[in-house]
Amino acid sequence: MVSYFRPDQEVYNLQVSERDLKSIEPKEWVNNTVISYFIRDLIDAHSSTYNFDVQLCGSIFMAYKTNKRNMAKTHEAVRGITATIPYAKYTIILIPVCMDAHWSFVIMQNPVLAIDGLTPPMLHVDSLQYQDTGRIEGALCGYFRMEALQKYNIKKITYKVKRHNTNPRQANGYDCGIFMLYFMHEVKKAIIRTKG
């Protein structure tokens, strides 16, 4: 087990097994433990950007489905994962998404820092152009609206998720995790270049 430090100085432990390591062999689908490892280790920390771990999105989608799309109950079930995140510190949030055995990610402007009346952008980056952006919008946007309401008393935030197709595009059914990590890394590099 290895300890990792996040930009907000929290320490997370992650146990990587031999079975997890087999998921990085050729023509294998990269599993969530390996994705978490690379997000923590490869994607550079930056003071204005927060990288969520894979646990968040999976937990939100599972609770959203279990609670029959009731976002208040979903937020109640999952909010412990985001309880200690100091939103006001970050302008951009990167969220890995795994739905229907396919990895993609979302680039989200922090809802807390959104200007009244403007819709904060949320881009869904999908290397296979496979996932349903509407499902992502329903679950993630609803969750972060609840976060803004409960933590900051921001009553009205409207999100619209736009799909962003990658270039290059994934050409098989198993490299989505690699593509996701690559494009998350590229986005983070661009943010660092822009913000210094």
Q: How far apart are CA 7 and CA 171, in angstroms?
A: 34
In whole numbers, what is the pLDDT of the chain averaged over residues? 83
* pLDDT score at 17: 86
CATH of 45-195, one of 3.30.720.110, 1.10.10.10, 3.40.50.300, 3.40.395.10: 3.40.395.10
Local confidence band at 117 (pLDDT 50, 70, 90 cut-offs):
low
**pLDDT reading at 149 higher than 70:** yes
* pLDDT score at 73: 94
* pLDDT score at 52: 85
Do β-strands 49-51 and 102-109 pair in parallel, antiparallel, or remain unpaired? Answer: unpaired
**pLDDT reading at 6 higher than 70:** no
Q: How far apart are CA 162 and CA 22, in angstroms?
A: 34
Domain ranges of the chain: 45-195
How do residues 28-78 score in pLDDT, each as one tens digit?
Answer: 989 988 898 888 877 766 788 888 888 888 889 889 989 998 999 999 999
Which tokens in the block code for residue 141? 């946007």
DSSP 174: S
* pLDDT score at 50: 84
Which tokens in the block code for residue 148? 């803004």
Task: Out of 141-145, 170-174, 191-195, give the one with best mean pLDDT.
Answer: 170-174
* pLDDT score at 114: 66
